[in-house]
Amino acid sequence: MDPVRRDTKKRARSVTRFVPRSPRKAVAVAVGWWKSVGGKIKLLGEPAILDAAGQSQPVRGHQAWALLARLALGRAPLDRRSLAAELFPETVDPLGSLRWCLASLRKALNASECLNGDPVECRFAADIEVDVWNLDRDDFDVEQAGPLLGNLEPRCSPEFSTWLLVERERIAGVVEARIRQETIRAMSIDDHGRATRLAELGVRRSPYDEGAHILLVKSLALAGRYDAALGQVEAAEAVFLAELGEKPSAALRSAARRTIASPPGGISPEAFVRSLVQSGLAALSAGAADAGIDCLRRAVRDAEKTNDPHLTATATFELGTALVHSVRGYDDEGSILLRQSTELARRSGSAGVASAGFRELGYVEALAGRRPTAAAYLAQAVELAEDSDALAGIHGVIGFNLVDWGRIEEGLDNYALSLEHARSAGNRRREIWALGLGGWGLLAADRLPEADSWLGDCLALVDEQRWISFRPWPVAVLSESRTRQQASPRELRP
């Protein structure tokens, strides 16, 4: 045979070896190529690797999932010896076991360029979605988020078991904060079905968290299911009494209440609502918290009847703020009302009210230690702020959140901004707040002489403005600073 023809036939056979000879095989090859495009790594709940078609890919052994979680959530790439020691402490060949697990994960992902090197780097394709990386995204589905690695308990080292325990708690806290945030948002836009569903999920996850029960009761009340709301109150009180030995606070029952009031004749409904707001704020200033809050509740109910979104947003904001800052401390109900006020204010074009609402929401979240959620609310407040006075308040809360978060220098920068804006706006109380809280931040940074200076200025302004209720704060912080500087006992009290 002609050598050229023989070579041509040989090459033809080598090509046809890769071409399927049946339609079924052709589909299989096409799906194989399609599977390599996109996919999802699911580590919350029962772990799984899904291809673009949603089909689960097999991964053998709990250790492989433990390895994937450790790599995906590591703050930096981990070297192979450390991984082998953590995950395979009882194996004869830990490094060999590590290589086998990495290979099985690459096979399931249908990718050879990821999970390589020493230290091992994830380097997943851009179209691979990793659920634990999306916790802060708006489209993250909190309703489907289970615990990290579900019920798997890999047989690994004590170091890995400790890491897994801490990560599970951390992620659970993030998810619960998202559930709370999404519940409040659903209530603010009158999506009562989703609000109730999310609130029920929050109660199931944290059955002894009073705040979770308050959100559920309030979601039922806003949906018009008052009997169900009262039933939930009674059920929660019974559970708390049986399991914890005491009933929840009055804030739980208050969340189920309805306030009905009618304005007197002769004046417009809008003027009546404004007078109720002013009366409520005056009562709060005088220390009559219950009377002030009741008055503001009436103002909100009557404002809703006027169909004036700006007036309703303002009244709702004042009630939410009063609940947050009152002695009774109804932070959960206050947060719901504040979120409602931001939605109403945005619809009516009242950027100032919306900004103030997000500022107060950030303050509530910062007090509760939900730092990322607080930062997100405060960022929205900055975007909507209209003047230096508003920015002074917002940067003061941002500084408080960052210092308590451990990001002290960033927090101090924001206290300085707050002080600058407060002086520009001529708002003495915001200036006092910035100096007092900024002094606390300087104390945390161990910059004691600067802290003394800020706190001394703060005390001078407190006395000038006669803000008696705030005075204990700078006094206590200044005494702490002087104690650290080993001052004599007579110098500890300003």
- The CATH topology of domain 39-144 is Arc Repressor Mutant, subunit A (1.10.10)
- The strand pairing partners of 39, in sequence order, are 128
Show the tokens assigned to 309.
């979104």
So what's the pLDDT on residue 259?
47
Cα separation, 440 vs 166, whole angstroms = 29
Given a cut of 50, is residue 14 above it in pLDDT?
no
So what's the pLDDT on residue 352?
93
Contact between residue 414 and residue 397 where contact means Cβ atoms under 8 Å apart: no
> Quick one: pLDDT band at residue 38, thresholds 50, 70, 90?
low
CB neighbours of 279 closer than 8 A, spacing ≥ 6? 295
Neighbour-count burial of 132, counting CB atoms closer than 10 A to its CB (0-12 exposed, 13-18 middle, 19+ buried): middle
So what's the pLDDT on residue 258?
62
Higher pLDDT, 17 or 442: 442
DSSP 263: P
Contact between residue 179 and residue 205 where contact means Cβ atoms under 8 Å apart: yes
Model-level pTM?
Answer: 0.69
- Which of 217-231, 264-278, 398-412 has the largest mean confidence? 398-412
DSSP 76: S
C-alpha 161: how far from its chain's center? 26
How do residues 43-54 score in pLDDT, each as one tens digit?
A: 888 888 888 888
Nearest to 236 by CA among 246, 226, 223: 246
Q: How many CB atoms lie within 10 A of CB 359?
A: 26
Given a cut of 70, is residue 26 above it in pLDDT?
no
- Asked if the domains 39-144 and 266-367 are classified in one and the same CATH topology, the answer is no
Q: Mean per-residue pLDDT for 152-158?
A: 86
Given a cut of 50, is residue 20 above it in pLDDT?
no
Mean pLDDT, rounded, of the chain: 84
Given a cut of 60, is residue 5 above it in pLDDT?
no
Where do the structural domains in the chain lie, given as residue ranges?
39-144, 190-258, 266-367, 387-494
So what's the pLDDT on residue 332?
86
How do residues 167-206 score in pLDDT, each as one tens digit?
A: 999 999 889 989 998 999 898 888 999 999 999 999 999 9
| Top-tier CATH class for 387-494 | mainly alpha
- The CATH topology of domain 266-367 is 1.25.40
So what's the pLDDT on residue 33?
35
Q: Does domain 190-258 have CATH number 1.10.10.10?
A: no
> Residue 187 corresponds to which amino acid?
M
Show the tokens assigned to 155.
């047989």
Contact between residue 273 and residue 303 where contact means Cβ atoms under 8 Å apart: yes
